[in-house]
Amino acid sequence: MQHNKQVVRRNKHAFTLIELLVVIAIIAILAAILFPVFARARENARRTACLSNLKQMGLAVMMYAQDYDEAYPQHRQSGGATTLYWQNIIQPYVKTTQIFQCPSTTRTSTVDGGYGANVLMFTSSSPVKMAAIASPASTYMVMDYGTWRIFGTYPDDPTNLSYLPGVGEIGVDCSGASAGTAQADCESGRHFGGVVVNFADGHAKWLKSQVVHSEYMKTDPSHGAFNPAD
């Protein structure tokens, strides 16, 4: 008789199937709510790191300009068998080459790490002088981009790695971008539908990809905030 009472007592403490299903449902609901929050927090951290990278690049460019007669670096310098890209040129002014790699990409290259320079500022011929910039605080210099330089029609016509991240969300055809992560980067962007931009005076901030794209498409003045003479 005592044994039967113990069995009954133990059964009273056991979970029923319905109770287990309720607990599982609650956990699933919480996961559905929290996972997007965690993903957003992670991307916020990456955007902050990207902003720090571009601020350091801006500071490096300012120091370079002070050493070279207030001239901005060229986007590429070729001499004999050696080719230097703008990242190599300002590298002596930074502590690590990791700042040339956007944390929201999977790339590990210094030159193609996910940042591109405005070739209207970082030219391939005569260097642009600081005094020639009409509005340094509003002129785009370096930003999140598919490859190391921003030129031609590629911000509106993505080809291979030449594309502006996130323009797919505003109707630009990203099928020309390299398949895989590059195409996804072109279509949906890196930082909440936007890119981090460094300006000609060295400061950096986040902008919607649509804003940057619309500036590039301007015809009066040509290329809007990309145009140092504007």
Q: What percent of the chain has pLDDT over 70?
A: 90
| pLDDT for 31 | 74
| pLDDT for 216 | 94
**Two tokens, residue 165:** 């991240």
Decide if 142 contacts 51 (C-beta within 8 A): no
Q: How far apart are CA 142 and CA 100, in angstroms?
A: 11
| pLDDT for 39 | 67
**DSSP states of 157-178:** S-BBTB--TTGGGGT---TTBP
Q: Which of 172, 177, 144 is nearest to 54 (CA)?
A: 144
Strands 115-118 and 149-150: parallel
Q: Is the pLDDT of residue 145 over 70?
A: yes
Over range 185-213, report the average pLDDT: 94
Q: Which of 87, 144, 117 is nearest to 200 (CA)?
A: 117
15-19, 57-61, 84-88 — which is least confidently predicted? 15-19
| pLDDT for 75 | 96
User: Any idea where the domains of the chain sit in the sequence?
Assistant: 2-226
**DSSP states of 73-110:** PPSEEEETTEEEEHHHHHGGGSS-GGGGS-TTS----S
State CA 12 to chain mean position distance: 57
pLDDT tens profile 168-193: 999 999 999 998 899 999 998 889 99
Contacts (Cβ under 8 Å, ≥6 apart) of 58 = 141, 142, 198, 199, 201, 202, 203, 204
Mapped onto helix, strand or coil, the DSSP state of residue 67 is: helix
Q: How far apart are CA 18 and CA 108, in angstroms?
A: 50
